[in-house]
Chain A
């Protein structure tokens, strides 16, 4: 066990799985970085933010493949390789770039198993960065997990900490389905204790990061940390919260969510993706349908407004969910009084 950053945890998961299984390969733009350059260094970068640094050195060019800037062909190639015997981990860099290769994910990889009568396995992982908070503006800041969640056949993983990232990525690589693994770009330097040895966190099982009596908060990825911080503040005011990190949006651990809502009777969902047809609406519908009687107050959603992500810091800050906004939503839920119908 030692302190590792989110970046190191992901790097370690990749390294350990590549050591364990020779069919695991990496591909993407600059995953090594520096091929053909005048410095003669073929591993100058390790990805734009250095997440895959050092892997080229250990595994060489047959296992770590730099690609041209051609998402449609290499993401498609990763899908094709996955269905024919390799276990590719393809890096899409910013998830926004999925616009260039969505067909290969949505109409090809996601559908092989079902369309081929259950006979295909597609052990593909697509890693991508998501999220706002970097002043990266509308084309580099989206949190597109609802888009992937919408497509049957894809598993969608959103790790909320370094520990979670390592265990979930190892499971994703060992999984026989196409998995979209989304890393919040603001979290790469976040550190915590992470075991040195490999370990797997099962996909589809939510994590209760704390348990309380009054309100259930469901949060994803970077929002989990914010939800816990809000819960700390609320505890000082005598409000106790359960915080659920579903870890995966597909499959979704609806059972745990419903059980917690049955206990607390109140629900706040924190989701940093665009508010229409996102995880918050999905979970709200689930709870309204399955646990209506348990609810003591309307469900509240802490989500951004329905707009592209703005560039300017002031606007981006207004756009994002925050600890304060979560705290306010929980307080509002607590203050709700059910008025009896006469």
Chain B
């Protein structure tokens, strides 16, 4: 499949933005300046970006506790996200939500989620809205291998099938739910689960942007055409601990080292497009430089931005309070 140059460049930039956003958070978190829990998506960038490159603002996604990548891929403003993570009033959620709850309905981002398995049922609802309102939209649930075992997820697969919803269930399988391996915690296969609920199943290598883009394109086209839900199983690796501060004592050190060496989606993307003569290295270097500046500015701005005021505490509990 041909992907427009413009899309490729936008995707590269999104992946690089996620990578730098995350690596910067890793550093800043260690200084103790960032409050709360932070779960990094580093290493998984091609999944969020490859899927979202097939979506528009009219489509909806739901994310997980590891949500920064999905937010950026769906177009949430980086500065607003950074401010949110720093608990500033300028944050996309006005400092009320933090890392685990970043949402921006204006770009179809239904929220990161602190509850594992919280997203798939919501996506059934979003898909129902798209179907009922006939707006041509599809809804995508991102969830982990761990979340794939939650009752909410399994019930949602069934409901989406029964209602023939325009929904795509993206299992981001990084092999771990916290410290427990999927090989221990997931019985059977995702493929068999999809079959059990009567929906098509597609799998792909999550370190290969092109593979994800193509597989997701197929899944999303199927759902958009009104043919019902699809499961997309993406195999990937996370580079950092479950949350910041996790020393990953459950993983052999070479596992992460190999992931970085052999499965770095950014490195693979760059090799592929430069070897094919699509882009000069210098073009991508420019993107890297621009993203570096953007992240730096976002961090500086976030640290400088005002804190919420006491009046904000009781604001927005109800539509009118």
Which A residues touch B178, using CB under 8 A?
Answer: 29-30, 33, 45, 48, 69
Which A residues touch B179, using CB under 8 A?
Answer: 30, 33-34, 37, 44-45
Knowing A68-B177, A135-B35, the reply to whether A39 touches B252 (Cβ < 8 A) is yes
Report yes or no: A68 in contact with B186, Cβ–Cβ below 8 A. yes
Q: Name the residue of chain A whose CB is nearest to the CB of B315.
A: A307
Q: Is A294 an interface residue (CB 8 A)?
A: no
Report yes or no: A69 in contact with B117, Cβ–Cβ below 8 A. yes
Report yes or no: B314 in contact with A138, Cβ–Cβ below 8 A. no
Report yes or no: A310 in contact with B36, Cβ–Cβ below 8 A. no
Q: DSSP majority for the A interface? A: loop
Q: DSSP majority for the B interface? A: loop
Bound form: Cα–Cα A34–B180 in Å: 5
Interface residue tally for chain A (C-beta within 8 Å): 45
Q: Name the residue of chain B whose CB is nearest to the CB of A304.
A: B313
* B 191-220 binary contact with A (CB < 8 Å = 1; else 0): 000000000000000000000000000000
Question: Chain B's nearest CB lies how many Å from the CB of A119?
Answer: 29
Report yes or no: A314 in contact with B37, Cβ–Cβ below 8 A. no
Q: Is A305 an interface residue (CB 8 A)?
A: yes
Report yes or no: A311 in contact with B96, Cβ–Cβ below 8 A. yes
Could you jot down 20 A-B contacts, CB within 8 Å?
A30-B180, A33-B178, A33-B250, A36-B185, A37-B179, A37-B181, A38-B251, A45-B178, A68-B149, A69-B177, A96-B114, A100-B150, A135-B36, A136-B114, A137-B98, A310-B96, A312-B89, A312-B308, A313-B35, A315-B312
Bound form: Cα–Cα A110–B115 in Å: 24
- Near B by CB (< 8 A), chain A positions 98-114 give 99-100
Bound form: Cα–Cα A310–B101 in Å: 11
Report yes or no: A307 in contact with B151, Cβ–Cβ below 8 A. no
- Near B by CB (< 8 A), chain A positions 41-68 give 41, 44-45, 48, 66-68
Interface residue tally for chain B (C-beta within 8 Å): 47
Report yes or no: A315 in contact with B313, Cβ–Cβ below 8 A. yes
Report yes or no: A36 in contact with B184, Cβ–Cβ below 8 A. yes
Bound form: Cα–Cα A40–B179 in Å: 12
For A69, give its contact among B36, B96, B185 (CB under 8 Å): B185
Bound form: Cα–Cα A73–B149 in Å: 10
Which B residues touch A134, using CB under 8 A?
Answer: 36
Question: Chain B's nearest CB lies how many Å from the CB of A207?
Answer: 33
In the complex, how many residue pairs between chain A and chain B have their CB atoms under 8 Å apart?
159
Report yes or no: A96 in contact with B97, Cβ–Cβ below 8 A. no
For A137, give its contact among B36, B149, B255 (CB under 8 Å): B36
Q: Is A306 an interface residue (CB 8 A)?
A: yes
Knowing A34-B179, A38-B255, A68-B186, the reply to whether A305 touches B101 (Cβ < 8 A) is no
Bound form: Cα–Cα A36–B255 in Å: 13
Q: Name the residue of chain A whose CB is nearest to the CB of B115.
A: A139
For A312, give its contact among B96, B146, B176 (CB under 8 Å): B96
Q: Is A308 an interface residue (CB 8 A)?
A: yes
Knowing A39-B251, A44-B249, the reply to whether A29 touches B180 (Cβ < 8 A) is yes
For A35, give its contact among B87, B114, B184, B255 (CB under 8 Å): B184
Q: Is A209 an interface residue (CB 8 A)?
A: no
Q: Is B58 an interface residue (CB 8 A)?
A: no
Q: Is A121 an interface residue (CB 8 A)?
A: no
Q: Is B164 an interface residue (CB 8 A)?
A: no
Which B residues touch A34, using CB under 8 A?
Answer: 179-180, 249-250
For B314, give its contact among A44, A96, A305, A313 (CB under 8 Å): A305
Interface core residue of B146, B314, B317 (most chain A CB under 10 Å): B314
Q: Is B7 an interface residue (CB 8 A)?
A: no
- Near B by CB (< 8 A), chain A positions 296-329 give 305-308, 310-315, 318-319
Q: Is A72 an interface residue (CB 8 A)?
A: yes
Q: Is B168 an interface residue (CB 8 A)?
A: no
Report yes or no: A140 in contact with B313, Cβ–Cβ below 8 A. no
Report yes or no: B95 in contact with A312, Cβ–Cβ below 8 A. yes
- Near B by CB (< 8 A), chain A positions 201-246 give none
Q: Is A331 an interface residue (CB 8 A)?
A: no
Q: Is A23 an interface residue (CB 8 A)?
A: no
Report yes or no: A318 in contact with B313, Cβ–Cβ below 8 A. yes
Report yes or no: B115 in contact with A72, Cβ–Cβ below 8 A. no
- Near A by CB (< 8 A), chain B positions 12-48 give 35-37
Bound form: Cα–Cα A71–B37 in Å: 21
Bound form: Cα–Cα A96–B100 in Å: 14
Report yes or no: B182 in contact with A36, Cβ–Cβ below 8 A. yes
Question: Chain A's nearest CB lies how many Å from the CB of B67?
Answer: 12
Question: Chain A's nearest CB lies how many Å from the CB of B111?
Answer: 10
